[in-house]
Chains A and B, each alone.
Chain A
């Protein structure tokens, strides 16, 4: 077949898979990858250097405003089918894993399942028996499963930092059963700094490293008498708890301020108003996450990313600066939160706060 004789280099394959995925052509997408596997391309390479690369590109294209949310979802569904096809192909060829049993799951609330799914597939190909629990695994389900299967380790994935508290809870719960936890995903910050903070037993920047690290063997945590709060002494100031619990109050107060300052502040139509409220809620969520790990960089990174997304959609970022300053007014009694808001505002290209359109995406 012509397609399997074509470029077997990962880059060429990734380009062809991208074309099929973005063209919503599922059969071609599946055929392209299966043909490459048939022609001898290593399946781990296909998963990590082709499928993962294409999915990453989907995210980049969405952020740049070049594809819609719908296209993003359609593309993700197709890459999911491609992974399923490869999994089916492998399952037909190989027996059960010989290496031991591990559990792969996403933190509660985390919808981005593909990184964890790819990891599960890589580990399966390296001889592990993998229980893949999928996206947004509630911690009670994870614990029940761990009791049932007694895995050598649990590998927990999280992409969005707002899920760090949930991930922390899951890590502590699994460790209390004497089972080590490796974490991975963008949520754990540059160099996995938040993985260390929540005292995960290991952190890996990517699936290959995770598999290598797992092969070396993880040490089971001591039946610890430690408590979650010992990991994060800064939580004693209650700022995280306050910001998290008063999310809707903060959003309402901010909207009220916007209403006071005139109809052009992003609140002139109900739909607009709701978008603005959602944006404010996101800001509050990420601020809470930053307070949880006590790192202003987490919040600044999110604000800068949001500014890029807005700019890509031709929405001036000064609305964002405006939102930050209104939030700061509401949080004047919270020194850590104020400092984070200030740092984030300074990092934005526009620092003055002229009245302008809303902060709507």
Chain B
């Protein structure tokens, strides 16, 4: 904004010419002593013309001036004027006119803090009449328009840059950068203390913005402590550069500091921080206009910073709460591979009404308990209920030897909760024994798991039962399944089979297509099976709407006794060495 607020060169030049008062008067014939140049009527018209006019001879001397010109030139005289008494710019234009001859272009210049366009017209005997048309108001309006436009463009840029990010560090950095580029030589942003330390963001032209945290005494800068409190509102304060502690000056800023202002960044009810602007002594101090602009800037920056801080707090709360609801990362446990994948019905969500868990057995001889289920409904509300179900099931793990009992207790718990929703789920208990994986599967109103045999056959597990959370008693039927190496048991939710789309647009994906696709998944790792199913479902859906999609694969790995976690590569080698 420096340039926008600067007095124009034009005005400065005018001040130099006409500013001094103690100079000889203009050499102009006094009124009434000379003949009127033309006949009486015209002479009167000339004399009374509203715009100043002077008749200048070929030598550059003023022959005649009308009343307006005398009033104008008589008001101010200057040592900057030529001998003739004309301002230099006009005298110079007249001289050029003599050498180039008429017609000549219009010239502009200042007289007595006003600006004029001078139009020449030929008079008798080589004389020239200069008509001076005032354009002071036009010029100052143009100037005001220009600086207003610059200011608006700058504010638009600043708002755009500030509003684009919801990250506190980035917002602070952008604010400091813009302040240093447009308001001052260096800028410092002090944020309210986190604990006992304040974050300090320094910016200066042509240098990277630096962010540090430091233990500072807010009382050491006049006005800072009040501004940091944010309320009651405090005005922008000018402070004496002599009083500045070292931490205010940006690292590497070696010029002497001429002026400093401290401006609060008003937040939404909470203080967003304080902006300190520094100008080196070779620069001018802040003008009133600049101070107002700094306050406008601070208001925008404060709003942006508060929004970013609010977003960060909310995002952090959401992340903490979601942590418990997100599907877990699965891996190999006791020689059995587990892999899960979940896609929420809405792309911007991370959780939904589908859920799964794997609870590893305490040791390889104990069963690992797997659950995959679907709560009626979608989105966060459904996800909260999945969280409860998962917690209840975890508490019931000691009873997992009896699926029916576990499901009955879960049913009771759901019936007595304030939620009116119900759920379907599959329980699986898995244990590896002599190269085989033994599974006990129980479906409570859920789609039966599919078994992918090593030869590519796909079987539906023979289990079924009632959903939980709807009726006082439930009945379920369990089944036992054995997985040979390379075989997989796939648990999935109806989002997969009820996916609508395909090349013709509105077809259900359906169980037949799923089974057909799974025939290709024999001897695949668990991870590859769930990814393949999710990918096929996604391709089938295209960009269409869909329900939550959850898949979980339990696989007896092809490597037979590949009872290694991926991270055990080194352990494995060590053991083989020992075996040798």
Contact = CB atoms under 8 A, between A and B. Distances in A.
Do A and B come from the same complex?
Answer: yes
B82 interface: no
Interface in B548-568: 557-559, 562, 564, 566-567
A78 interface: yes
Given A24-B558, A148-B315, A178-B165, A30 B525 contact: no
Nearest to B577: A1
B524 interface: yes
Contacts of A69: 520, 532
B528 A30 contact: no
A70 B315 contact: no
B579 to A, nearest CB: 13
Interface in A6-27: 24-27
B88 interface: no
Nearest to B318: A144
Interface stretch (B19-27, B167-175, B259-267, B390-398): B167-175
A31 B569 contact: yes
Nearest to B513: A274
Nearest to A135: B531
Contacts of B502: 274, 277
Nearest to B563: A27
A64 interface: no
B202 interface: no
B531 A150 contact: no
A256 B559 CA distance: 48
Interface stretch (A81-89, A182-190, A196-204, A344-352): A81-89
Interface string A300-320: 000000000000000000000
Contact of A73 (B166, B167, B524, B564): B524
B527 A80 contact: yes
A69 B564 CA distance: 26
A39 interface: no
A313 to B, nearest CB: 15
A177 B164 contact: yes
A136 B569 contact: no
A interface secondary structure, majority: helix
B504 A81 contact: no
A76 B562 CA distance: 18
Nearest to A244: B543
A241 interface: no
B531 A77 contact: yes
A177 B164 CA distance: 5
A278 B540 CA distance: 10
B161 interface: yes
B562 A178 contact: no
A66 interface: no
B167 A147 contact: yes
Interface residues of B, number: 45
B525 A177 contact: no
Interface residues of A, number: 52
A30 B569 contact: yes
Contacts of B573: 1, 31, 35
Contacts of B531: 73, 77, 111
A140 B569 contact: no
B557 A147 contact: no
A138 B348 contact: yes
B311 interface: yes
A26 B559 contact: yes
B535 interface: yes
A177 B503 contact: no
Nearest to A35: B573
B145 to A, nearest CB: 21
Contact of A251 (B157, B504, B566): B504
Given A85-B567, A251-B504, A278-B503, A26 B557 contact: yes
A74 B170 CA distance: 43
A30 to B, nearest CB: 5
Interface in A67-114: 68-70, 73-74, 76-78, 80-81, 84-85, 88-89, 108-109, 111
A85 B347 contact: no
A95 B167 CA distance: 25
A185 B69 CA distance: 77
B165, B524, B569, most chain A CB atoms within 10 A = B569
Contacts of B564: 27
A76 B566 CA distance: 15
B566 A81 contact: yes
Contacts of A150: 165, 167, 169-170
B572 interface: yes
Interface string B352-381: 000000000000000000000000000000
Contacts of A141: 347-348, 350
Contacts of A74: 523-525, 528
A79 to B, nearest CB: 11
A30, A70, A146, A148, most chain B CB atoms within 10 A = A70
A268 interface: no
A248 interface: yes
B165 A30 contact: no
Given A81-B525, A177-B170, A223-B161, 6 more contacts: A70-B524, A80-B527, A85-B567, A88-B567, A141-B347, A274-B503
8 A-B pairs with the lowest CB-CB distances in the bound complex, closest first: A248-B505, A277-B503, A77-B528, A140-B348, A138-B347, A281-B503, A150-B167, A73-B528
6 contacts: A24-B525, A73-B531, A73-B532, A147-B311, A178-B164, A178-B165
